[in-house]
Amino acid sequence: MSTDPSPSESEVEPSAEPPERGAAEEGTPLPKRRVWVVFAVAALLWAIDLITKNLVVANLEGKEPKPILGGLIYLQVIRNPGAAFSMATGMTWVLALVAIGVVIAIVWISRRLRSVGWAIGLGLVLAGALGNLTDRFFREPGPLRGHVVDFISAFAPNGQGFAIFNIADSAICVGGALIVLLSLLGKDYDGTSTRGKKKEDA
């Protein structure tokens, strides 16, 4: 007859996988992963950026600025070797490498996304990075040195009222602003709320 003590019914084997943080630790299931939202938003805005650039190059390059919306916006083609809003001119190849790094980082983090807001924000930033990166690879004067097509001049022509930009620049700014807002509100990219955690720890 064995003298080994039998295991108690109250004993539970430890889980092979550590519990997920955040909502899962409280017994609430985490939201679904939102990878598809990132790439859907990115694909849509990337396509809009490419189409609008090709249209303005075909119809407006070399012509006088065209006012629309009563002069609120002027459409004109400017070849920009710098970053968004014509910053960092002369660093085209460096900016191209930075954009490649941004694309890789967003693709990597998208695997853990569970927040719709974060997914939209990162999708917008990804679209903007891809849009301008496409110009840097395929437009003159050559790969990694291509000039980005800017064509929206707000309030006045030639960037006199504001900087000249494009759809990709706008997507980057809106996406970045959305991500900052979500961070300030305590909304994490994995669907949890950092603000709620701070209140519980207080």
| Alpha-helical segments (H) within 29-115 | 35-60, 92-109
The catalytic residue among 135, 150, 190, 201 is: 150
> Is 49 noted as a catalytic residue in this protein?
no
Tokens of 199: 């209140």
> Is 150 noted as a catalytic residue in this protein?
yes
Tokens of 68: 């629309």
The catalytic residue among 49, 135, 169, 190 is: 169
Cα–Cα distances (Å) from 21 to 17, 79, 114, in that order, read 12, 47, 13
- Comparing CA positions, the residue from 135, 166, 171 lying closest to residue 73 is 166
Residue 110 neighbours by CB distance under 10 Å: 22
Tokens of 55: 């249209």
Q: How far apart are CA 187 and CA 119, in angstroms?
A: 12
Tell me which residues are annotated as active site.
150, 169
